[in-house]
């Protein structure tokens, strides 16, 4: 059974989906944009059936009592520390980490800066930020794919446009999501402060002088990418290997950006195999 728990970290309270036996090996799952921890429910059930304890927080800005004001509150250092603090609140010094989209971007930083805390790392869709930055600088295709980011950096206008016609633009992205999943997402993004907070991830971390350095990755890593991803092109995905200094598996799938919804069976099998190979279960 998947339950919701509120975890207080400093002055923030995170809503977390939790499932499994707390005596078992832990897996933290980080959602991306524009989604919530609800995206992980099916995978959490599968992981629990294989003996894992799963924790999936609604990230900073998505939990109503963890939604500070101001762009700077969403710098990657704060987002990274949230993950570590949530793990400690659950009594976990070491854990497996899985992230999609912005959850992947944050997870790369957690893994790169704190490799001693991570048993294994699985990134979906978004590569190491240096691989992405290299593609953005050198690959015309990636520059075109990333045009939406420049729009998100504008103040207020994106929020206004996204809310039009009851989030029609977001609903088009969620076409592979179940109705109850869409309703959960809408319950978050209909809160004006949460939509702005989610866009502040971009505003706080993308642009001149805002990229925080990230070194090579030594933790065992699985990177899953969809060959039809509209946001991340092949140049960035294939450049990722250059920043891996530990065991590394690259799994390109015949899918798009929303891999959990569109390629669930392949994702589940790959994730379970990765966790079992690098975990501590008997």
Q: Domain boundaries in the chain?
A: 2-278
Dist CA 281 CA 181 (whole Å) = 31
DSSP-derived pairing of the beta strands 52-57 and 95-100: unpaired
pLDDT at 204: 97
pLDDT 10s digits, 101-114? 999 999 999 999 99
Q: Is pLDDT at 281 greater than 80 in this prediction?
A: no
Contacts of 140 (CB under 8 A, 6+ apart): none
Q: How confident is the model at residue 177 (pLDDT cuts 50, 70, 90)?
A: very high
pLDDT at 280 over 80: no
The mean pLDDT of 55-65, rounded to a whole number, is: 98
H helix or E strand, kind and range, residue 169: helix 157-173
What CATH homologous superfamily does 2-278 map to?
Alpha/Beta hydrolase fold, catalytic domain (3.40.50.1820)
Average pLDDT over residues 220-226: 98
Whether 196 shows a pLDDT value over 80: the answer reads yes
Whole-number Cα distances in Å, 162 to 134, 159, 173, 186, 217? 29, 5, 12, 12, 35
Continuous segment of H or E residues that includes residue 261: helix 259-262
Q: What percent of the chain has pLDDT over 90?
A: 96
Mean pLDDT of the 188-194 span: 98
């Amino acid at each position: 059974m998947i339950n919701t728990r509120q975890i207080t970290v400093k002055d923030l309270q995170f809503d977390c989906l939790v499932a499994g036996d707390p005596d078992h090996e832990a897996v933290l799952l980080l959602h991306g944009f524009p989604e919530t921890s609800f995206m992980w429910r099916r995978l959490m059930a599968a992981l629990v059936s294989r003996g894992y304890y799963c924790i999936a927080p609604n990230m900073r800005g998505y939990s109503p009592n963890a939604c500070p004001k101001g762009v700077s509150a969403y710098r990657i250092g704060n987002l990274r520390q949230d993950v570590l603090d949530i793990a400690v609140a659950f009594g976990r010094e070491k854990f497996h980490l899985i992230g999609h989209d912005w959850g992947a971007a944050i997870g790369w930083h957690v893994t790169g800066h704190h490799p001693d805390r991570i048993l294994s790392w699985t990134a979906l869709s978004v590569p190491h930020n240096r691989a992405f930055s290299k593609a953005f600088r050198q690959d015309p295709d990636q520059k075109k794919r990333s045009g939406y980011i420049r729009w998100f950096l504008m103040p207020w206008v994106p929020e206004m446009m996204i809310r039009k016609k009851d989030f029609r633009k977001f609903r088009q992205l969620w076409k592979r999501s179940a109705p109850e999943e869409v309703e959960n997402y809408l319950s978050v993004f209909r809160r004006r402060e949460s939509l702005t907070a989610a866009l502040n991830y971009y505003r706080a971390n993308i642009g001149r002088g805002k990229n925080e350095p990230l070194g090579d990755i030594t933790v065992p890593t699985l990177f899953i990418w969809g060959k039809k991803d509209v946001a991340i092109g092949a140049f960035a995905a294939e450049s990722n290997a250059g920043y891996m200094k530990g065991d590394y598996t690259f799994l390109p799938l015949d899918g798009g950006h929303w891999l959990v919804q569109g390629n669930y069976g392949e994702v589940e099998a790959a994730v379970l195999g990765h966790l079992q190979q690098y975990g501590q279960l008997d």
